[in-house]
A and B are shown apart, each in its own frame.
Chain A
Amino acid sequence: MENFTPISALVGGALIGLSATMLLLFNGRVAGISGIFNGLLNPAQKDKTWRALFMLGLIIGAALYVWSPQGGAPVPLSLPRVLLLSAGFLVGFGTRMGSGCTSGHGVCGLGRFSFRSLMATLTFIAFGIVTVYAARHLFGVM
């Protein structure tokens, strides 16, 4: 557990929770990234502006930290391209089919005490753990 970074994890987590609270209080919206983004993929969706600005904000907010003197950009994992693309496809497919991701089900759904979101969160964490176990310890990838 030498990689454990509890302070920055709690500070960052609290900031994410405050962001989600702000979006709900001012705009009445749930801060689920997959849902916000999927709205941008739907030609019939009328409210694209706030969605695009929230997504842009995600990038700006991360850039402010990453490019600050205290920050630092993480080096992406050198995964085989086919693995990276398969992973992206599964994340896009699964989050639409399961109506949410780590933010929508995890942060916002659990905050609303939604049993549906709890089931989703336990499922994706469990499958994530099994996948990493299989990839790293059985097949030696990563």
Chain B
Amino acid sequence: MKKNLFALLAGIAFGFGLAISQMINQKKVIGFLDLFGNWDPSLALVMGGAVGVTALLFRFVLRRPNPIFEDKFYIPEKNNIDAPLFIGSALFGIGWGLAGFCPGPVFASLSIGRIEPVLFILALVAGSLAAKYLVPAKYTR
């Protein structure tokens, strides 16, 4: 129960952060990726601000024996650098550059009440399911 409440609260903080930093604005994202045009470095500061906080605080959290509402931490176990990591990240980067949406911002963009994020998410679901069936499971977990 409490863990569901805190998941909701964390989601609200995340969505508010994405909106106030204008990361739900595709033009801001594409402006960052447009390094050779009229470059807008804002996204670098969003990521820098976020990573500054996680890099500082995660170490204290992970020193605990377990999280407050769970028996253990669910940290990704993979640490190998393999081809699917690069190919997948490259395909993601291409899609990100084409529309200026990545998963967090596009879901947060459902708040603006327009059709574009909905269409993007339907295609995202199709892409994710395609990868689930086409890419061997050992690479996607």
Contact = CB atoms under 8 A, between A and B. Distances in A.
Interface of A: 1-6, 8-31, 33-34, 37-38, 41, 49-51, 53-67, 71, 73-74, 76-77, 79, 81, 83-116, 119-121, 123-133, 135-137, 142
Contact of A65 (B5, B20, B69, B122): B20
Contacts of A2: 38
A113 B55 contact: yes
B107 A59 contact: yes
Contact of A94 (B53, B62, B94, B113): B94
Contact of B3 (A20, A50, A83, A93): A50
Given A66-B112, A91-B92, A131-B93, A98 B87 contact: yes
A12 B18 contact: yes
Interface residues of B toward A: which range?
Answer: 35 or more
Contacts of B97: 127-132, 135
Interface string B1-43: 0111111111111111111111111111011011111111111
A91 B95 contact: yes
B47 A13 contact: yes
Interface string B45-80: 111111111110110011010111110111110111
